């Protein structure tokens, strides 16, 4: 199998993954770019240019770019991808949740439900249900009407907020007590977030608030962090022959 290169254009983090198989990536890079900021277009253009240079250097013609909530809201942000000849796929929130669920399920076969707190949206997914909520780490809103068909005890959590939370909690299995402790500690000592870049420091408290609200509403006693997610789901889709021109929200 030849190498496959994929770009994830997330609301706050854009990522590159080049691999022949997910167990041995040829390249993996991330850049924090808040797509809700006024200068997002310029920063994203530089990031995509850098990622494209890496892919060209690796002589990888099989490539696919996909985006989440920010690209759905601001389609003009796809221009740097079009200019550099990346096939572009903009799945809806439900498909984003499905891709993430399959990527995590492949590595965590015992998983039932998945929680993905992104920058612009939050997805909840299981084998039969996918729900996308308009809340995220880069938004200021919170919802009051929660879906009532979520039945999970210890779901897996993915994304930048969950990753940072696992670092602050010091473990990948994070209890509700751990979440509340981290909230109290960063409120009293904001310098605990100094290991993050400036964008992550700014949006992490809101992302943590989303996790706290979800856990409280569904009475979850713990969540389990997984490093896999939407980026790996895009890679699986591309490796299976998904292109940016075959429906399901795709646009070329």
Residue intervals of the chain classified under CATH 3.30.420.40 are: 4-92+230-251
Do 130 and 124 touch, CB atoms closer than 8 A? Answer: yes
> Averaged over 179-190, what is the pLDDT?
98
Q: Residue 245: pLDDT band by 50, 70, 90 thresholds?
A: very low
pLDDT for residue 217 is more than 90: yes
CATH architecture of 109-225: 2-Layer Sandwich (3.30)
How many helices (H) and strands (E) the chain has is answered by 8, 12
Render pLDDT for 98-116 as a digit per residue (tens, 0 to 9): 999 999 999 999 999 999 9
- pLDDT, residue 137, reads 92
Structure tokens at 158: 């993915």
pLDDT for residue 72 is more than 70: yes
CATH topology of domain 4-92+230-251: Nucleotidyltransferase; domain 5 (3.30.420)
Residue intervals of the chain classified under CATH 3.30.420.150 are: 109-225
pLDDT for residue 65 is more than 50: yes
pLDDT for residue 157 is more than 50: yes
> Averaged over 227-240, what is the pLDDT?
94
What is the 3-state composition of the chain as percent helix, strand, coil, each rounded to the nearest 5?
Answer: 40, 20, 40
Beta strands in 91-234 (DSSP E): 114-117, 122-125, 130-133, 156-158, 173-175, 222-225
pLDDT for residue 247 is more than 60: no
pLDDT for residue 71 is more than 80: yes
- pLDDT, residue 242, reads 62
């Amino acid at each position: 199998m030849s190498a496959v290169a994929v770009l994830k254009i997330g609301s706050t983090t854009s990522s590159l993954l080049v691999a022949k198989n997910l167990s041995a990536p040829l390249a993996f890079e991330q850049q924090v770019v808040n797509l809700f900021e006024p200068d997002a277009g310029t920063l994203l253009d530089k990031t995509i240019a850098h990622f494209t240079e890496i892919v060209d250097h690796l002589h990888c013609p099989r490539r696919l770019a996909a985006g989440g909530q920010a690209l759905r809201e601001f389609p003009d942000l796809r221009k740097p991808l079009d200019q550099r000849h990346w096939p572009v796929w903009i799945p809806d929130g439900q498909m984003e949740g499905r891709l993430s669920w399959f990527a995590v399920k492949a590595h965590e076969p015992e998983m039932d439900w998945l929680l993905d707190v992104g920058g612009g949206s939050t997805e909840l997914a299981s084998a039969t249900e996918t729900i996308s909520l308009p809340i995220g780490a880069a938004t200021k809103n919170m919802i009051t009407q929660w879906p009532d068909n979520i039945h999970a005890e210890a779901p897996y959590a993915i994304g930048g907020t969950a990753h940072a939370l696992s670092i602050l909690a010091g473990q990948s299995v994070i209890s509700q007590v751990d979440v509340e402790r981290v909230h109290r500690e960063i409120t009293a000592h904001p310098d605990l977030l100094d290991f993050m870049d400036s964008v992550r420091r700014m949006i992490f408290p809101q992302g943590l608030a989303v996790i706290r609200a979800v856990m409280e509403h569904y009475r979850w006693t713990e969540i389990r962090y997984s490093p896999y997610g939407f980026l790996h789901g895009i890679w699986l889709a591309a490796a299976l022959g998904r292109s940016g021109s075959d429906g399901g929200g795709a646009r070329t």
